[in-house]
Chain A
Amino acid sequence: MSLLEVEDLRIRYPRMGRLRAALKGEPHGFEAVAGVSFEIEAGQTLGLVGESGSGKSTIARTLLGLKEAASGSIRFDGQEITSASARDWARLRREMSMMWQDPVGSLSPRLKVSSLVTEPLRIHGQKAGRDEATRLLGLVGLPAEFAGRYPHQLSGGQARRVGVARALALDPKLLVADEPTAGLDMSVQGEVLNLLNEVQKRTGVAILVITHNLNLVRHITDRMAIMYLGRFVEQGPTEQVFGHPRHPYTEALLSANPEPDPDSGRARIRLSGEVPSPVNRPSGCDFHPRCPHAQSDCPRIVPDWTVEGERGYRCLHPL
């Protein structure tokens, strides 16, 4: 049994008011996540990458109980959490922790850094004084003098470290990190990632990292899943996926990672066509209108999930 087991998860959002939808004769909701399955074992890191707006953060919000699932199952440590009671959540919230996408906005502007890093402890009724704040700040490489600052007095990177300290305060079993190093310079990014790695080795915390940073995924994840329009198009061991992407969207995404060299001139696959909307899904394969390898059956047939060893993909004509 894995620590986290997600099966056929579906999540909906309202698109417009019911009345307007009725007047326009359109559905008022849409599936932002349309059937996603994955597992994470203790001590493992899964990287979730993919198109902006494809539903990655929505999955994170649902895992943390902040957004309801429309259907499907999420088992955490053997317990079904889509039907968990408020009391269960009090415990679950201690065992799952979140690092948010937006570094400064997710910190309450009226609290000092010292209160911010110890807030998770206090919420769960634990004592947390100055020493604890200093320890947590030290853990993320911030000098103790930062304890007295307010969020707006931090640089983007400093705010991010405060977020890491908060997420680690409760010693969670699962850490969901939404863009944990966006806005950090390369050196600090390395520090945060080494820090997460070290904590993982020490505590066996499982990590779900959501990111657009392909370099980060390549270095720190065991497995990766690639999302497009609310579904996984491919999933597998990171090395295998980078070595030989099977889905054309994965191939295009990986080819878009620019080299730090003005003369690299690497050939990129530029995706043409409009980014589709989850409200009006294309027929057949979700990716066919933009796929450089699309064939005549792609607009007609919805591809199944194909399993091949440790990996899987959703494509009629895999690479």
Chain B
Amino acid sequence: MPETNETAQPETLVSVRDLSLDFDTLSGPLHALRNVTLALPKGRITGLVGESGCGKSTLAYSLIGLLPGNASIVGGEIAMDGLDLAHLRASEWRKLRGTRIAMIFQDPMTSLNPVTTVGQQMLDIQYRDRSSRAEKRAKAVEFLEQVQIPDPESKLDVYPHQLSGGMRQRVCIAMALLTQPDLLIADEPTTALDATLEMQIVDLLKELQGKFGCSVLFVSHHLGTVAELCDDVAVMYAGEVVERGTARQIFHDPAHPYTQALFECDPGRIREATRELPTIPGTLPDLRRPPRGCAFRARCPHAWPRCADEHPPLYLRDEGHDARCHLLDETEAVA
């Protein structure tokens, strides 16, 4: 568990404000992100969780300028050191990517080139470095060792398809670590790893984060890992951030009904073995026509008429903990 002081206000590295993003589709614009506001504090690990398709990867890609061609940012900004990442030119992105911001993807083959050896790719990524080829090679071996790749020397000569799924992901992690970024974005980096390795990678990310003081955005569906690794947690639903707080606040006192429902589905919390796992009935709303009021209303056990009419703002639950749910409106409690 992180030992950071939870009340001190850490400096912000990246501040996402009111970010809205549309995908252009044949049937009209799909509003994948809607008024997302989120601060990534310096030197802390922020977990991002939420339903498949709620926009976690889209948010992650927008932080590293790797959005697909049919995406357009239609509002808001992403502030980092006086830059607005939401409106950067391609040439400016090339300067940031791989130096100040690095990413590990959900699918390791996204960042590995299938026709180039692992070693060559690890040399290529150090192209800014002026050291000799032999030094770069040694550094590549060192980082492969760091992520516990057996026989690292010989792995430099293999192609990505010759590695197991977990090893490919470890190679990606090694490549991201090589660049020592300020912001490391990790989109489900441990999904393909076994539990002992997952914990090793989690320890490794913590260690690296402590060593270089970088900020990490960690996207995951594994709530146990998020609880273990992250200082802060943001919960997304249907393109919105619906709850934010420290990991303790979110896991001990979830305020949004979606967060509560998500936790109830976690088989890790169910002691007795069962084949009938709990689910959240219903589906994500159609993001081309997001509902007017609360996005979770149709699936929410507590919904009442106000939820259909009025879009809930982020209500404060506690210092540093807020959620988009009218249940938290104090004037409601009085009524």
Contacts and interface: CB of A to CB of B under 8 A. Distances in A.
Does B associate with A? Answer: yes
Interface of A: 13, 15-16, 49-53, 57, 101-105, 141, 143, 145, 148, 152-153, 155-158, 160, 179, 182-191, 193-194, 197, 212-216, 218-220, 238-239, 252-254, 256-265, 268, 270-271, 274-277, 279-280
B251 A271 contact: no
Contacts of B221: 183-186, 189
Contacts of B2: 262
A187 B224 contact: no
Contacts, number: 196
A169 to B, nearest CB: 22
Contacts of A155: 52-53, 57
Contacts of A263: 1, 248, 252
A253 B195 CA distance: 6
B212 interface: no
Contact of B224 (A53, A190, A257, A270): A257
17 contacts: A16-B157, A51-B197, A53-B167, A57-B165, A153-B25, A157-B51, A183-B52, A185-B52, A187-B265, A189-B221, A190-B278, A212-B193, A219-B275, A258-B202, A260-B223, A260-B251, A263-B1
A219 B273 contact: yes
B225 interface: yes
B335 interface: no
B74 interface: no
A22 to B, nearest CB: 15
Given A53-B167, A218-B267, A253-B195, 6 more contacts: A52-B194, A53-B150, A157-B53, A183-B188, A187-B278, A280-B151
A251 B166 CA distance: 21
B165 to A, nearest CB: 5
B227 A262 contact: yes
A277 B152 CA distance: 10
A57 B106 CA distance: 18
A45 B228 CA distance: 30
B270 interface: yes
Interface of B: 1-2, 23, 25-27, 49-53, 57, 68, 106-107, 109, 148-151, 154, 157, 162-167, 170, 188, 191-199, 202-203, 221-228, 247-248, 251-252, 261-263, 265-270, 273-280, 283
A282 B222 CA distance: 33
Given A52-B167, A263-B248, A274-B148, A268 B199 contact: yes
A226 B41 CA distance: 40
B274 A219 contact: yes
Contact of A276 (B150, B192, B194, B275): B150
Contacts of A53: 150, 163-164, 166-167
A153 B199 CA distance: 32
A101 B192 contact: yes
Contacts of A274: 148, 150
Given A102-B107, A183-B221, A253-B195, A264 B167 contact: no
Contacts of A148: 26
A260 B268 contact: yes
B168 to A, nearest CB: 10
B195 A214 contact: yes
Nearest to B195: A256
Given A186-B223, A258-B224, A268-B199, A52 B165 contact: yes
